[in-house]
Amino acid sequence: MGKARGFANRKASHAGEMRWSWRTRETADFFGTRSRGHVDSQREIVLPQLPSPIRVEMNSKGEIFALDGSSRKIVRVAPTGEFLGYFAPAGDVQGTVVPRSLRIARDDSVYLLDVSAARVLVLDPSGKILREVPFPKGYGFFSDLAVDVGGNILLLDSVRRMVFKVAKNSPEAAQLGESLKEEAYFPVSITTDKQGTIFLVDQNGSGIVILGPDGSLRGRRLSMGWKDGFLRYPAQMCVTENGAAFIADRGTTGSTDSRSRNNRGTFIGYLQRILKSSPWEIRAPPRSNPKG
């Protein structure tokens, strides 16, 4: 939805290192702080509890919730970078919880994509389970989830190349739109904007598939390449309140600015007009004294 989430590129992460934030309000919005100003400088957070971060979210206090791909634990990190502990479902939890992705809503409720028990868990800020939604029958593999502005849950099936929707307060998921086998090779990440437009990051196809709120196809943007304006195995995408978008791209490094090259292969494109006709305008993020 309008609140954008942060991301961590597992391939580019180095011993629990997360690179986050630039000195602009829009990029702070991208990491989930919106206009609160909690994040105002480029930093690298290195924590032994977080060797392989694969998903990052922020709550209304600016605390970072990072999912570790090795332990599958969710690490809570202070806005200043200190380890605050782990976040996990509390109380009587049925089955083993193995998160593949997470989202934090505007009210700080946490949505977990639990691939072990094939369900979505909705938790309050303390970890109490508020709701549990089973995966639909016949699914392939759910790699990501999103929560739109209306409180509906969206599930991305990477294998079947489909999106499923769990309507607000509904007990089950239903297919949204048609199969995207002709439009996407292997979509791995899903996000929405405040108008409800859905964006799928096609990792193997190095592009972005755009869907309407009803799942109807609106088009595809970007393509594979090494230079600015192209993607190479993108991992995640975020959209801010005002419509700017950010993409974590694993392979585009050669022609980006010095900070992008120093970031071990991670390129973050700044899309000025995400709903305008192709091609999108892409440039590197604003400069800010890169480290090392």
Could you read off the pLDDT of 94-149 as tens digits, one per residue? 999 999 999 999 899 999 999 999 999 999 999 999 999 999 999 999 999 999 99
Q: What is the rounded average pLDDT for all residues in the chain?
A: 76
Tokens of 267: 């390129």
Of 18, 20, 44, the closest CA to residue 31 belongs to 20
DSSP symbols for 188-223: EEEEE-TT--EEEEETTTTEEEEE-TTS-EEEEE--
Question: Is the confidence at residue 33, as pLDDT, over 90?
Answer: no
Gap between the Cα atoms of 274 and 270, Å rounded: 10
Instruction: Give the separation between CA 43 and CA 21, rounded to whole angstroms.
Output: 7
Asked if the model's pLDDT at residue 151 lies above 50, the reply is yes
Domains of the chain by range and CATH?
A: 17-283 (2.120.10.30)
In the chain, what is the straight-line distance between the N-terminal and C-terminal CA atoms, in Å? 34
Instruction: Note the helical H segments in the chain.
Output: 25-30, 258-262
What is the pTM for the complete model shown?
Answer: 0.77
Instruction: Please give the single-letter amino acid code of residue 37.
Output: G
Tokens of 153: 């849950």
pLDDT digits (tens, 9 = 90+) for 39-82: 444 567 788 999 888 888 999 999 999 999 999 999 999 998 99
Q: Which structure tokens are listed for 112?
A: 């977990």
Q: What pLDDT score was predicted for residue 231?
A: 82
Confidence of residue 214 (pLDDT cuts 50, 70, 90): very high
Residue 242 pLDDT greater than 60, yes or no: yes
